[in-house]
Structure 1
Amino acid sequence: MSRVSRDGGQVLPFYAAMMACLLFAALAFVAVGMAGATRSDAQGAADAAALAAAREVRDNAFKGTDLLILTPEEWEEIIRGRRFHTAGACAQANAFAGTNDATAECAFDVPEFTVSVTTNGTVGDSVIPGTENMHARARATALIEPRCFLQPATTPPPPGGGGVVGIECRDGTVIIVNPSDPGPLYKLARKLFVVRLTD
């Protein structure tokens, strides 16, 4: 047997081993990518669920409130975000998590709403053991932030009605509310409060 044949015979197993290592590395990178995508899905679901919970509470800031009988102190409490109704917040979080194929756990310390989600799907089968049972988890917190205040020169109407309420916002806009005809109260709430993610 020639030297060339012997060298070729020695190189072939080495070449096969190198190809096997490269294939495994490629499959491992795919698994990492799958895990990253699942984690991204979980974070998106958490963000959407936290925002949904906070927006539900924000939009119902005037729930059960008769604007005609509010005192100046009560107007101030509402505008500062001290009279929120939290019923329905976690239900909204769960609903939005469900649309993103995840389950949610909701907790809140008004005006912050924190949601932790777990994906229903897993990373999937891969060369890395255990990924077929691996769910992604993520957490997000949304904040309801007041953006307006009562105008100092404006007095809310006395109980029984009469007059208008002047509200000034940080961006310089002024909101004039007629308690007898305020329009959709959820729209007023959206003008008074901004909802944003904090982390």
Structure 2
Amino acid sequence: MRHRLRTDAGQAFPIYVVMVAGLLFLAFAFFAVGKAAALRNGAQGAADAAALAAAQQTREQFGAPFYASLPGKMLDPFLNAHPVLGCPAAYGLASANRAHVTTCQPLPGGLRDRIRVEVEGRDAVDSPVVPDTEKTFPETEATAVIEFRCPDWESVDFNDDGVQDMYFFSCRGGEMLEIEPASPPPWSKVSKILYDVHLVDK
């Protein structure tokens, strides 16, 4: 009888080993999935920050061309064709968030310019139980928009000399803005009124 008990225990031992090995495999697999999700979330944060930085830098660079377009009634052409130039800021923000930019692409759209940024994280999933994960890096993208907030505007030529002396902007939210081309206010004071910067779905 004792001999049979020892035999049963010996037969059960390999089953325990297989079960423990299976549980360890599942644990490592779940860990790999969790790590991949965390790395992707981190990469998405980097992409969001990079896209916003690119849009904000672009908005800052609108100042001189915007003011230059006012006196000669060239505002409409400027609003429909201004350049998106903020990609250098995207590289810096992505790097600060452990990612690098693979694509920074302006998508002009008149009063609503978009910048799409694609990034790749620096940290690989690198799971011991999932093949090739040591070369698997999270990739994601984000799109920011620079939107003109004051589509209703008019200009006044007080001297009837063909030069516009004042521009009046009616902006969303009821904000009003007056700009005198001969003495324009600092761009930092008016840029956030004229242009809104935010993330959008691609």
1:109 is matched with 107
Q: Does 1:91 align with 2:93?
A: no
SS in 2 for 1:24: helix
For 1:21-100, list aligned pairs within 5 A: 21-66=22-67, 70-71=71-72, 73-78=73-78, 81-87=79-85, 89-100=86-97
Q: Residue 101 of structure 1 aligns to which amino acid in structure 2? A: R
Deviation at 1:155, TM superposition (A): 2.5
- Rounded to whole Å, the distance in 2 between the matches of 1:84 and 1:124 is 44
* Matched-pair contact (CA < 8 Å) for 1:53–1:113: yes
* Matched-pair contact (CA < 8 Å) for 1:156–1:165: no
Q: Residue 108 of structure 1 aligns to which amino acid in structure 2? A: P
Q: Residue deviations 1:82-128, cap 9 Å, x none?
A: 242333x2211112111122221211122111111112221234321
Deviation at 1:131, TM superposition (A): 1.4
Deviation at 1:143, TM superposition (A): 1.2
* Long gaps (5+) in structure 2: none
Query: CA distance change for structure 1 residues 144 and 156 in 2, over 3 Å: closer, same or farther?
Result: farther
Q: Which moved more, 1:181-190 or 1:62-71?
A: 62-71
- Rounded to whole Å, the distance in 1 between the matches of 2:117 and 2:182 is 38
Q: Residue 18 of structure 2 aligns to which amino acid in structure 1? A: A
Deviation at 1:5, TM superposition (A): 2.5
Q: Does 1:18 align with 2:19?
A: yes
Q: Residue 130 of structure 1 aligns to which amino acid in structure 2? A: D
TM-score (norm 1): 0.83
For 1:147-186, list aligned pairs within 5 A: 147-151=149-153, 155=156, 162=165, 164-186=166-188
Deviation at 1:12, TM superposition (A): 1.9
* Long gaps (5+) in structure 1: none
Percent identity over paired residues: 34
* Matched-pair contact (CA < 8 Å) for 2:156–2:164: no
* Matched-pair contact (CA < 8 Å) for 1:148–1:168: yes
Q: CA RMSD in A?
A: 2.5
Q: Residue 117 of structure 1 aligns to which amino acid in structure 2? A: V
* Matched-pair contact (CA < 8 Å) for 1:67–1:180: no
TM-score (norm 2): 0.82
Q: Residue 55 of structure 1 aligns to which amino acid in structure 2? A: Q
Aligned residue-pair number: 193
1:137 is matched with 139
Q: Does 1:122 align with 2:124?
A: yes
